[in-house]
Amino acid sequence: MRRLVTFSSVLGRGDVISIHEIRRRAPLHYEAKADNARFVACMLANNISEESCSSTAMEAKYGGTPGIAIGEAFRREAALALELITKAVIAQKIELDVAPAHVVAVRPTHDLNELWREAALPKLSNEDQRRLLLAKRILVWAGRYAAPKNDEVYEKEELEDQRLQQIRPSAGLRFVRPVAFDWVNFDRLYQIAARDFWSLRDGL
């Protein structure tokens, strides 16, 4: 039987919603998960020695390259942390009734640029928007699979990346400049959202 709870103490009326719906609306739930992911990203970025990697690889009978595996894990955790802290801001603004008028729920999407706009966070440079696009790609497929579910997904991502680089689509060769998605750039973006979140909480 589904567990139901009354949310009247928060909403000011007798709405009955599930415990999962409460969690979907809870700003601190998103923030706590974001903080956990950020902590693990920091560990992966800074605190794993080559000696520790080698011994763990031997113990696990791992046949790959530890540095590559750790780099992939860092990017997954960093991308997840960015998604969750942005969703924390959205949930907090909805709760305080200061979200943009069209934002009425935390949407189940990995599109970080869309989420960033829905959170009404400061406008980012094209380079940082490319980082959020890369984080979306990691969350949707690159952090888990060898390829996206279809070629159209990849082509759409490439067109968006070209737009942010202000590159006109062309059939010829072109040089695509990658963006750094390291600890420094990740945490800089994370802290923009985190500061906004905690400034909202300070007003409670």
Looking at residue 10, its pLDDT comes to 46
Arithmetic mean of pLDDT over the chain: 89
* Statement: residue 3 has pLDDT above 60: no
Question: 102 vs 43, 87, 88, 90, CA distance in Å?
Answer: 38, 15, 17, 12
Q: How many CB atoms lie within 10 A of CB 75?
A: 23
pLDDT digits 0-9 by tens, 17-28: 888 888 888 999
pLDDT digits 0-9 by tens, 7-58: 444 445 556 788 888 888 899 999 999 999 999 999 999 877 778 888 899 9
pLDDT digits 0-9 by tens, 67-101: 899 999 999 999 999 999 999 999 999 999 999 99
Q: Is 85 exposed, middle or buried (0-12, 13-18, 19+ CB in 10 A)?
A: buried
pTM greater than 0.75 (yes/no): yes
Percent of the chain with pLDDT over 90: 73
